[in-house]
Amino acid sequence: MPGSSVLSNIKIADMTSVLFGPYCTQTLADMGAEVVKIESVAGDIIRHIGISRNTPQMGSMHLTINRGKRSVNWDQKTELGKEATRRLIEASDVFIHNIRPDALARLGLTFEDVKAIKKDIVYVHCLGFGPDGEYSGRPAYDDLIQGLSGMTSLSPRVDGSGVPRFIPMAIADKVAGLHAVHATLAAILERNQTGAAVHVEVPMLECVTNFVLEDHLCDGTLEPSCGEMGYERQLDPTRQPMKTKDGYIILAPYTDDRWLVAFNLVGGAHELDDERMVDWATRRKNRTHMQDRMQVYIERETSAYWLKLFNENDIPVAPVHELEDLQNDPHLRGSNFFQRREHPSEGAYWEMQPPVRFNGAPDREIRPAARLGENTDEVLKELGLEPPK
C-alpha cells in the first residue's frame, strides 16, 4: 500500500510526454491525485524506451514513470477527440502539458483558450526555456540543458581534464520535474485562495541552472567575486570512496573530533604527531594528506569490518552500492522501499515507494502503469460521450 492520499480529489489532465512532465505527474499521482494521461494515438514515446516483456508499448521506463495514471488516446484531430479533451479540462483542476509554445495557438490550448473552458484552471506549462530569451520556444533535451546549465563543466573540474561530460542520468529532466511538482501545488493553493486561473511556466534551463548553482555559485556570488565559482568540497578529486581489502566504503567523519576518533579506531593515533596533522588548523589545511593517510589503514581490512567498527562509534560511514545492491540494502528492505507488485498484463515488477511519507504509513495501492488507451472508453463515458465503435 505505498501511495498516500494527501492529494486525493485533485484532478489532473496530463498532456505531458517523455520524462520531465510525466515524472511530475507521477509524483502527484503517488500522493493521490487523479491523473488522466492524454496520449497521442501512437502513445507516449517513452513507452518504447527500455525493453518490454509482454506488450510492446509497455517498456520498463513507462512502468515506473507512468504508474498511477489512467491512459486515454483519443484522436485530437477528430471532433470527438477535441470535445473529449475540452470536457476533460473542464472537469479537471490542473491542465499540464509540454507542448511547444508555437504549437499552442494551432491546437487551441493557450492559457487564454483553456481559461475559457475552465475559469479557474491551474495551467502548468513544462518547457525548455523561459520566455523572452534567446532560446525561448526551442525544443529542449536533457543533454542540451546539461550543457547549457554548466552541469557538464563539473566533472572536468574534478579530474582536471578540461573535457566536459554529462552527468550520467537524465538529471535535467528529473530536476525540472521536481520543480514542476511544487509549482503545481503552489498554484493550486493560489487558486484555492483567489478562485482565479493560474498560469505557471516551468522552464528546464532556468530550473537546472539554479539547481547547479545553489552550492556552486559559492565565491562567485559576491561582486566583485572573492574567488572562483565552484564549491570546492564537491569538486575535490580526493574526496572519494576509499578502497578496502575487498571493495570500497565511504568514510565521512566531517568534524575534527570525529577524525581524531577515526584515527584512534584504525590504530593510527601516532599519525597525528605529524606536523601536518598536529592540530585543528593544520588538519584543515592538509585534508588531502589526512585522507591519504587514512586510506593506508582502510585498505588493510574488509568493508564489513570497517562498517561495523565505525557505525558502533558513531562515525558516519556507508557501503558503496552498485545499482544491483540496492534491493538488498537492509534499510531499504526494512522500510519496504521496493515493493513487488503484479501487473495485470506484464507480470511481476518492482514498484518503488514514494520517498516522502505523510502521517506515517501510506494507505492505498498505486495504480500500475496503464496500457495505451486502456481507459479511453471509461473516461469518455464519464465525460458523457460515446466511445467510437
Partner 1 sequence: MPATTVLSDIKIADMTTAMFGPYCTQTLADMGADVIKIEPPMGDMMRYGGKPAKTKGMGGMHMTINRGKRSVALDQKTDLGKEATRRIIESSDIFIHNVRDSGIKRLNLTFEEAKEIKKDIVYVHCTGFSSEGPYAGRPAFDDIIQNLSGMTSLIPRLEGNDQPRCLPMMIVDKVAALHAVYAVLAALRERDNTGEAVFVEVPMFECATHFLMEDHFDGAVFEPAVDEFGFKRSFDNTLQPMKTQDGWIMIAPYSDKRWVKAFEVVGASAELEDEQLNDRKKRFFNSSYMHKRIESYFITNTTEHWVNALSEAQIPASQANTMEDLQNDPHLKATNFFQKREHPSEGDYWEIQPPVMFHNLSKEEIRPAPLIGQDTESVLIELGLAPDENNG
Which of 281/323 has CB closer to partner 1? 323
Among 80, 104, 107, 213, contact with partner 1 (rule: CB under 8 A): 213
Near partner 1 by CB under 8 A, which window of 34-42, 71-79, 247-255, 375-383? 247-255
The Cα 66–Cα 18 span in angstroms is 10
> Amino acid identity, residue 387?
P
Q: Do 71 and 44 contact (CB within 8 A), yes or no? A: no
Which of 89/140 has CB closer to partner 1? 140
Residue 385 CB, shortest distance to partner 1, in Å, is: 31
- Map residue 223 onto helix, strand or coil: coil
Near partner 1 by CB under 8 A, which window of 84-92, 212-220, 283-291, 373-381? 212-220
Residue 75 CB, shortest distance to partner 1, in Å, is: 22
The Cα 148–Cα 144 span in angstroms is 6
The Cα 254–Cα 278 span in angstroms is 17
A 10 A CB-CB count for 14 gives 31
Interaction of residue 297 with partner 1, rule CB under 8 A: no
Residues 128-187 contacting partner 1, CB under 8 A: 129-136, 138-141, 143-144, 146-150, 152-155, 157-158, 163-171, 174-175, 178-183, 185-187
Residue 83 CB, shortest distance to partner 1, in Å, is: 28
Among 354, 372, 379, 380, contact with partner 1 (rule: CB under 8 A): 354
Which of 20/74 has CB closer to partner 1? 20
Among 221, 264, 288, 302, contact with partner 1 (rule: CB under 8 A): 221
Which of 4/375 has CB closer to partner 1? 4
Interaction of residue 84 with partner 1, rule CB under 8 A: no
- Residues contacting 86, CB < 8 A, separation 6+: 117
| C-alpha cell belonging to residue 209 | 541552472
Which of 168/389 has CB closer to partner 1? 168
Residues 312-331 contacting partner 1, CB under 8 A: 314, 316-326, 329-331
Which of 163/281 has CB closer to partner 1? 163
In DSSP terms, 242 is beta-bridged to: 249
Q: How far is CA 148 from the centre of its chain?
A: 19
User: Measuring CA to CA, which residue among 212, 86, 227, 214 is closest to residue 154?
Assistant: 212
User: Measuring CA to CA, which residue among 122, 111, 96, 124 is closest to residue 194?
Assistant: 122
The Cα 172–Cα 179 span in angstroms is 11
| C-alpha cell belonging to residue 98 | 509540454
Residues 6-35 contacting partner 1, CB under 8 A: 6-7, 19, 23, 27, 31
Residue pointed to by grid coordinates 566504503: 249
